């Protein structure tokens, strides 16, 4: 239950928070951070403090040229002060269904999940789901494991539309997957389409073209998330924090360019 | 008038082999001229209705062997899937009936020569529809299928594909078949060998695969190949194919096809012959 609430809260945060970037000033969390390159990794050390208890902190990495958000990481906080260290591997997320791909997609690490579900729900990607062509869309979260394989699809109320064979086997070892597919999975192969999100500082939250799920659930619909090397930059780091009263604050870095290998040799 | 010894020594045998076992019947019409001859092949009448509906989803290995058909309307399928995940569903419907029986056969010899004829009009309709959706990921799958319809065929094969998504449907129909042969008993030659089935083959394929894929088809006109193709794909391909082959034939020799203008007696001036009918030979 907590995981769904948190995931929903994060989605709402993405939907409404980042669009209003730079619009919240004054009282609320105070954020200071420093970023430095270590090879291809950008290490961000942040200190966040608030008079109220902090509830969450979110890292956004933004391509300064396209102003697309290429990386997101979410943390849960339960204190008035927090020293956080983020690592951005200079990568962005691509989502592919085996035929088409989209990038950079909004993909977020999940937090605070039950241990039996956590291995199958390491990352989540918000999307708009239409079960059949022409039907109304529902906001949902697609969940992926550490290797990027698709394991679950749930709407914001927690209703599950798909669960992978591995996930089912873990939760209910005696249930045959064929029977589960027949009785529980409502996605329609060749019909159900997902529209994933991309985020831009100027254009806000947008959806990519629809991706049709045309493979079997036993093949995880061949839907995967992949890490792709980001471009040359420069990049802007943004950290957003929220306290118990719902007050948000954001802090941006100056554009940061990766260290080129030739630069390293020259030094 | 000298007698041609070859004509005396040669044996002209026109036979109709009948396999009678209720409710099915099998008939083979053939003319033997020494070591050569002409035949319709075995034609069987049957009242058949077959429905197969099924699906499977799971992890492991899978093998499949399918052979079915009647009156040369047939499907053949082989699948060998090594360890992997597979989701497959299918529907097959085969139906044949003997509501219209054979018209004929007509045998005879044209007057004034040694030219014999045989005409068979067969109206034993057959319908075969087969659809399969298959989705495989694993160590490798080899899969081959072919659909034949009285000298026409179409099929596809996939070899050593680790990733195969395939949706296929095929509809085969045979309405009737018309055979006609003219044989010169003096020169031991088959003057005319005509085979005109009214048939339809409609094949739809939508696949995505790696490994090797081969598609082939043949369409016959009479007994001669009118069109054929073979194509191979090695690598990762999406293949979409819709192939429709029809062969419609109007039998102008049947009664009613010609206006009644000249015949006085109503019967054509053929010399009647005696034919052997040997049901025990089959």
Q: In chain B, whose CA is at the least distance from the CA of A190?
A: B167
A99 vs B56: CB contact, 8 Å cut-off? no
Contact B105/B118 with Cβ under 8 angstroms? Answer: yes
Total tally of structural domains belonging to chain B: 1
Cα B219 to Cα B120: distance, rounded to the nearest angstrom: 22
Residue B269 lies in a domain: no
pTM score, whole prediction:
0.78
Three-class secondary structure of residue A133 per DSSP:
coil
| B135, B163, B167, B207, best to mutate vs chain A, most A CBs in 10 Å | B135
- A100 to chain B, any CB pair closer than 8 A? The answer is no
Between β-strands A193-200 and A123-130, what pairing exists: parallel, antiparallel or unpaired? Answer: antiparallel
Query: Per-residue pLDDT for B272 more than 50?
Result: no
Residue B156 lies in a domain: yes
Three-class secondary structure of residue B247 per DSSP:
strand
Half-sphere exposure of A171 (CA within 13 A, CB side): 17
Chain B contacts in chain A segment 195-214 (CB below 8 A): 214
pLDDT mean across residues, chain A: 87
Residue B214 lies in a domain: yes
In chain B, how long is the greatest CA-to-CA distance? 82
Q: How confident is the model at residue B12 (pLDDT cuts 50, 70, 90)?
A: low
Cα B131 to Cα B127: distance, rounded to the nearest angstrom: 14
Between β-strands B224-234 and A235-243, what pairing exists: parallel, antiparallel or unpaired? Answer: unpaired
Give chain A's end-to-end CA distance (angstroms, integer).
Answer: 53
User: What does DSSP assign to residue A68?
Assistant: B
Residue B18 lies in a domain: no
Residue A144: name the closest of A82, A194, A84, A75 by CA.
A194
The region of weakest confidence among A51-65, A67-81, B112-126, B170-184 is B112-126
Helices (H) and strands (E) in chain B, counts: 1, 14
What tokens does A203 get?
A: 């254009």
Residue B145 lies in a domain: yes
**Complex confidence, ipTM:** 0.76
Which residues of chain B have a Cβ shorter than 8 Å from any chain A Cβ? 55-59, 85-87, 135, 137, 165, 208, 238
B135 vs A177: CB contact, 8 Å cut-off? no
Residue B40 lies in a domain: no
Cα A133 to Cα A149: distance, rounded to the nearest angstrom: 25
Contact B74/B147 with Cβ under 8 angstroms? Answer: yes
Cα B240 to Cα B165: distance, rounded to the nearest angstrom: 12
Query: Per-residue pLDDT for B63 more than 50?
Result: yes
Give chain B's end-to-end CA distance (angstroms, integer).
Answer: 40
In chain A, ranges of CATH 2.60.40.2550 domains: 1-89+231-267
Question: Which of A99, A165, A215 has the CB atom closest to B135's CB atom?
Answer: A215
- In CATH terms, the fold of domain A1-89+231-267 is Immunoglobulin-like (2.60.40)
Query: Per-residue pLDDT for B270 more than 60?
Result: no
Residue B137 lies in a domain: yes
Q: How confident is the model at residue A224 (pLDDT cuts 50, 70, 90)?
A: very high
Segments forming the whole domain that contains residue B117: 47-264
* DSSP letter string, B77-100: EEEEEEEEEEEEEEEEEEEE--SS
Residue B135 lies in a domain: yes
**Angle at alpha carbon of residue B193, lines to B187 and B198, rounded to 5°:** 170
Question: Which of B58, B85, B238 has the CB atom closest to A219's CB atom?
Answer: B85
- Residue A82 φ then ψ, to 5°: -150, 135
């Amino acid at each position: 239950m907590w995981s769904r609430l948190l995931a929903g809260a994060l989605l709402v945060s993405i939907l409404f928070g980042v669009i209003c970037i730079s619009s919240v000033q004054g009282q609320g969390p105070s954020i200071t951070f420093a970023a430095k390159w270590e090879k291809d990794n950008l290490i961000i050390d942040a200190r966040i403090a608030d008079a109220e208890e902090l509830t969450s902190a979110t890292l956004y990495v933004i391509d300064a040229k396209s102003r697309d958000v290429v990386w997101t990481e979410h943390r849960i906080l339960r204190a008035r002060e927090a020293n956080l260290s983020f690592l951005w591997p200079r990568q962005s997320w691509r989502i592919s269904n085996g035929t088409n791909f989209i990038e950079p997609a909004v993909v977020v690490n999940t937090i605070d999940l039950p241990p039996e579900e956590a291995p199958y729900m390491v990352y989540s990607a918000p999307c708009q789901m239409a079960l059949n062509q022409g039907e109304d869309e529902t906001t949902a979260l697609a969940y992926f494991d550490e290797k990027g394989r698709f394991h679950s699809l749930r709407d914001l109320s927690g209703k599950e539309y798909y669960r992978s064979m591995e996930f089912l086997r873990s939760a209910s070892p005696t249930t045959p997957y064929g029977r589960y597919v027949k009785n529980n999975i409502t996605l329609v192969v060749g019909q159900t389409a997902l529209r994933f999100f991309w985020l831009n500082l100027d254009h806000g939250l947008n959806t990519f073209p629809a991706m049709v799920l045309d493979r079997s659930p036993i093949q995880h619909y061949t839907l995967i998330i992949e890490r792709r090397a980001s471009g040359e930059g420069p990049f802007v780091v943004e950290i957003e924090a929220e306290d118990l009263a719902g007050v948000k604050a954001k802090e941006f870095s100056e554009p940061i360019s990766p260290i080129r290998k030739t630069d390293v040799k020259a030094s | 008038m000298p007698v041609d010894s070859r004509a005396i020594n040669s044996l002209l045998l026109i036979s109709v082999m009948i396999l009678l076992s209720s409710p099915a019947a099998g008939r083979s019409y053939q003319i033997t001229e020494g070591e050569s001859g002409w035949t319709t092949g075995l034609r069987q009448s049957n009242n058949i209705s077959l429905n197969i509906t099924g699906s499977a989803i799971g992890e492991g290995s899978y093998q499949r062997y399918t052979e079915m058909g009647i009156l040369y309307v047939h499907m053949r399928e082989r699948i060998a899937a090594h360890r992997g995940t597979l989701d497959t569903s299918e529907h097959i419907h085969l139906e044949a009936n003997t509501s219209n029986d054979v018209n004929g056969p007509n045998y005879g010899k044209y007057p004034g020569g040694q030219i014999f004829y045989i005409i068979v009009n067969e109206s034993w309709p057959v319908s075969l529809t087969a659809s399969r959706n298959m989705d495989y990921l694993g160590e490798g799958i080899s899969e081959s299928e072919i659909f034949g319809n009285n000298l026409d065929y179409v099929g596809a094969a996939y070899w050593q594909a680790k990733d195969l998504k395939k949706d296929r449907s095929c509809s085969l129909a045979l309405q009737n078949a018309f055979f006609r042969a003219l044989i010169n008993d003096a020169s031991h030659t088959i003057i005319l060998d005509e085979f005109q089935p009214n048939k339809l083959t409609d094949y739809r394929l939508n696949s995505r695969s790696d490994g090797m894929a081969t598609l082939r088809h043949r369409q016959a006109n009479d007994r001669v190949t009118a069109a054929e193709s073979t194509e191979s794909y090695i690598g990762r391909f999406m293949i979409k194919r819709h192939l429709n082959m029809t062969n419609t034939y109007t039998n102008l020799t049947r009664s009613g096809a010609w206006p009644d203008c000249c015949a006085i007696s109503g019967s054509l001036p053929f010399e009647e012959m005696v034919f052997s009918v040997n049901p025990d030979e089959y």
